[in-house]
Structure 1
Amino acid sequence: MKPGQRQNHSLSAPAFENLQGVWRSQGYGKILLIEHDRYTLFEETAISCRKLYTGSLEELNHYYEDLVVSPGGQAFSAHRVSGVARISFRRLKALPANAAEARRHDPKDPEYNFEIFWRTFHEQYALFELKGVAWDQAYETYRPQINANSSRETLFATMAAMLRPLKDGHIRLHTPSSHYSAGAQPALYQRLTRELEDANDDRELTSYLGDLKEWLHDVIHEDYLGNGVSHGGNRLVEWGRLNDTTGYLHIRAMAGQSGKTGKPAADLSAIDGLMQRVLADIGELPNLVVDLRSNGGGYDGVALRFAAYLMDRKRLAFTKSARHGDGFTGKQPIHVAPASETYRGNLFVLTSELTASAAEIFVLSLLQHPRLTLIGEPTQGILSDTLERHLPNGWHLTLSNEIYRAYDGEVYEDVGIPPHIRLHYLGRKGREEGKDPMLERVLKLVGG
């Protein structure tokens, strides 16, 4: 998404108009050229510096907020509107020499694209050590397969083969004709695939999973909530009462509550009004179930805003650091502070392997809550933000360039956040009994 397409808000002070010059981000691989009436954003590797966007300074002020400039004017940092990270920039005397050289390369040259692809991961990917993948060795293995005459199909297949061992759901490679995701297949998919095979059922897995989710949705509405369900946030949030002591809150996604795509500030505003309604309806109950089992993520800021209405006091949610040079940027602490009105009872958060990305950040931010019980399956284990990068031939990709650490330093990337009580999501036994075993367990725990 182009920076100028983010949402509007009032201009920051100090503003980018006063920061003319060339700036390099600390981590994230970006060069920012600020002129008196416009900016140009470049993506940088050790062998390239390629222009990505040009836009007005007003657009830049919409993309970043809370600008802080160092006393000497040689550095600044700003909060990225779409996430929770504060990114630092340092002044350069001029654009890197690579910026001029980039124009001398044929953008369709397969070897040039391969080199930038490999470099991008070499310099930005945060999880090689965790994944046990030797990226230098991958270069030695695959570089000889690419030459000046390699087809686009060969280049794509080679890149996909290099990415496959990373098993990272935030790694995607997009071309006009093909898309590749490096995510590992959840055990749930394998379980459901076996069910289809055993039953000689020729339904597609995605169709079968959709049918099961719809079945569970109906069971919850009819048998557990008695159809007393309220909706809000562009129908991405619903809530009701399981009984006289226990409320139920289902959050389907961590974005889109405003009904506007790519507008996190509007989503945050929508959540404020929405959660006030939720608390007015079920906030006095001593127990609350928060269902995240099918929540695939969205914006970290949205996740933290939801958490703010459930947190008892200000607590460290997590720290995050980004790849930078041969190491990482410093650990940036992110806190969750309670909203003016918050839920004060016991929290039961339901998770599955489909609980991913920003939905995992929501869980991460609640781990210090004194009355929290996690029920279900470990989350998917893709917590890092996705860094989007572009290749000269017009392809683009995303990768994980950050490490999130829980309040106690634990890293849940790859393994997921484990539940306190482990139960299968959409398990066969529960379906045969026509029940939701996770809600059954909550009701047993609260004596309902």
Structure 2
Amino acid sequence: MTFANPNEATKAAESFSQLQGVWRSQGYGKILLIEGGRYVFFEETAVSCRKLYSGTQAELALYFEDVQISPRKQSFSAHRATGVTRIGFRRLKALPPTAFDERNKESNDPEYNFDLFWHTFAEHYALFELKGVVWDQSYHTFRPRIDPSCPRETLFANMAAMLRPLRDGHIRLYTPWGHYSAGARPALYKRLESELEGAHDDRGIANYLGELRERLHDLIQDDYLGGGVRHGANHTVDWGQLSATTGYLNIRAMAGQSGKIGHPADDLKVTAAVMKTVLAELGDLPNLVVDIRGNGGGYDGVALRFASHLMDRKRLAFSKSARHGNGFTGQQKIHVTPPNAETYRGNLYVLTSELTASAAEIFVLALLQHPRLTLIGEPTQGILSDTLERHLPNGWHLTLSNEIYRSYDGQIYEDVGIPPHIRLQFLGRKGREEGRDPMLDRVLKLVRG
């Protein structure tokens, strides 16, 4: 994978050469061993310290950049090359005893896997209070159901039952034979399901939604943009002109701009290039619609890069803190900074829906201080935290929300989503029957005064 640029990687490698020893991350549950030109990462809980992956010191430098070391070399922090997070580490005298206890553990033991699973959430999940879930109680309820002879299906079913009340789209449990997602079901799905039932239509929701989204896409391109649509960034970006005064920009995802999977540095470069082109064509118009109704996320860094080309000046985008012990790490402030050129100066109309999720919501957070911003549509999905990936001894792995994001004014939009200024239903039946996009119609009405 391509993460840091070569110059940053060289600097990071030089810094890591000064950091021989054992380090514990502040939040994120990682132990890092740097020794003899190599490194080992471990995942830690109160009952485990399991080796995750290892490699050369030069390879470690591809994952981090801008390493800052304390004067006595007892702590350091580094910016994660795949996102916007800076993670702090503190020196330990030695590896935790649990790192050596792992040798005596049976990797497929259901009881051990259950305990590690429970501790992973107990120590790292950030939203129990917000979700109103008492995780300690789940242990007392479900632990008696797990014994040494417990089948894998029973273990999986109990874990899924524990996760279900959290209703968090960033929680997933993966196994070689299936996976479980704990996300809440969007109201849109319920509306469409009711339509299908009323029409005695046996199509699945996913297929029906896909068809409706494709129809809307064609409607916008053919009727609203008059066929004059441009595509770029591996078809993750479309743009055109709605009227003599109003441009249109559709950002489909916050990853994949380079056409490569898992290459955020390349995605960032392509994002900057495509926005330069977009603004060369639309930047002088007094109004710009940014459509992220179907954007399910990607990289926060890409979201911020898009936002930077739309922001009037450097502003606080949000702050974030990670679960750490019984509390949280200090709040890390993230700013959105416009480039020297290619910055849009007009009125912004951002269209959102329940499908606007994750890094797409970070894009909205980054623009909330924009002085000429109007949000139109539905509240976003409300899954803003980065996903922390963790692994179980039996080969299963999972993701969870371990961070709290706060907007510039301290608001938390996890679970509830970021609300629009003007609320309109996405893919509402009336608009579809009339062959119109009510959100774009509202924008056009607003700009006409």
Q: Do both proteins adopt the same fold according to a TM-score greater than 0.5, normalized to the shorter chain?
A: yes
CA contact (8 A) 2:4 2:65 kept: no
- The within-5 A match list for 1:300-339 is 300-339=300-339
Does the aligned pair in 1 maintain the 2:253–2:295 contact within 8 Å? yes
Q: Where does structure 1 lack aligned partners over 5 or more consecutive residues?
A: none
User: What amino acid is aligned across from residue 11 of structure 2 in structure 1?
Assistant: S
Amino acid at match of 2:65: E
Give secondary structure in 2 for the equivalent of 1:62: coil
What does residue 12 of structure 1 align with?
Answer: 11
* Structure 2 residue aligned with 1:418: 419
TM-score normalised per structure 1 = 0.98
Match of 1:357 in 2: 358
1:260 Cα deviation (Å)? 1.1
**Partner of 1:190 in structure 2?**
190
- In 2, the alpha carbon distance for the partners of 1:202 and 1:420 equals 36
CA distance in 2, matches of 1:7, 1:236: 23
State the number of aligned residues. Answer: 445
| Structure 2: tracts of 5 or more residues without a match | none
SS class of match (2:62): helix
Verify: 1:159 aligned to 2:156, yes or no: no
1:268 equivalent to 2:268? Answer yes
Q: Are the counterparts in 1 of residues 380 and 419 from structure 2 also a CA contact under 8 Å?
A: yes
| Contact 1:117 1:391 (C-alpha < 8 Å) held by counterparts | yes
Q: Are the counterparts in 2 of residues 7 and 264 from structure 1 also a CA contact under 8 Å?
A: no
Supply the distance in 1 between the matched residues of 2:119 and 2:151 (Cα, whole angstroms).
20
Partner of 2:259: 259
Task: State how 1:394-433 maps to structure 2 within 5 Å.
Answer: 394-433=395-434
Distance across 1 between alignment mates of 2:19 and 2:73: 8
Q: Measure how far apart 1:7 and its partner are.
A: 5.8
Letter in structure 1 aligned against 2:268? L
Amino acid aligned to 1:213: R
Aligned to 1:391: 392
Distance 1:81 1:150, change over 3 A: same
Structure 1 Cα separation of the partners of residues 397 and 11 of structure 2: 31
Shift of 1:339: 1.4
CA distance in 2, matches of 1:421, 1:36: 59
Alignment of 1:225-244 (within 5 A): 225-244=225-244
> Displacement, 1:144?
0.2
2:34 aligned partner: 34
For residue 220 of structure 2, what is the aligned residue in structure 1? Answer: 220
Give the aligned partner of residue 177 of structure 2.
177
Report the CA distance between 1:17 and its aligned residue: 1.7
Aligned-pair CA distance for 1:6: 4.3
Q: Give the Å deviation of 1:56.
A: 1.1
Aligned residues of 2:168 and 2:182 also touching (Cα < 8 A): yes
| Aligned amino acid, residue 40 of structure 2 | T
Q: Secondary structure at the match of 1:359?
A: helix
SS in 2 for 1:344: coil
Aligned partner of 1:113 in structure 2 is 113
Aligned equivalents of 1:9 and 1:214: distance in 2?
41
Q: Is the 8 A contact 1:110 1:149 kept in 2?
A: yes
Is residue 75 of structure 2 the alignment partner of residue 78 of structure 1? Answer: no
1:288 has 2:288 as partner: yes
Distance 1:339 1:160 in 2: 45
Query: What is the SS of the residue equivalent to 1:362?
Result: helix
Task: Give the root-mean-square deviation of aligned CA atoms.
Answer: 0.9
The 1-side partners of 2:6 and 2:387 are apart by 24
- Alpha-carbon contact 1:172-1:182 (below 8 Å) kept: yes
Q: Deviations over 1:8-52 (max 9, x none)?
A: 533225421221100000000000000122110000000100001
Q: Which residue in the other structure is 1:89 paired with?
A: 89
The CA distance in 2 between the partners of 1:118 and 1:82, in whole Å, is 28
Q: Identify the residue that residue 344 of structure 1 maps to in structure 2.
A: 345
Q: Distance in 2 between matches of 1:288 and 1:443?
A: 11
TM-score, normalised via structure 2 length? 0.98
Contact 1:7 1:263 in 2 (8 A): no
Once residues 98 and 413 of structure 1 are traced to their aligned partners in structure 2, the CA distance between those partners, rounded to angstroms, is: 34
| Match of residue 376 from structure 1 | 377
Question: 1:5 Cα shift?
Answer: 6.6
What amino acid is the match of 1:9? P
Distance 1:138 1:196 in 2: 37
Contact 2:224–2:242 (CA under 8 A) maintained in structure 1: yes
Mapped pair 1:437 → 2:442:
no
**Structure 1 CA distance for aligned equivalents of residues 432 and 340 of structure 2:** 40
SS at match of 2:406: strand
Equivalent residues of 1:348, 1:373 under 8 A apart: yes
Match for 2:182: what amino acid?
A: A
- Structure 1 Cα separation of the partners of residues 51 and 3 of structure 2: 19
Alignment deviations for residues 101-142 of structure 1 (CA, whole Å, 9 cap, x no partner): 011000100000000000000000000000000000000000
Which residue of structure 2 lines up, in the alignment, with residue 57 of structure 1? 57
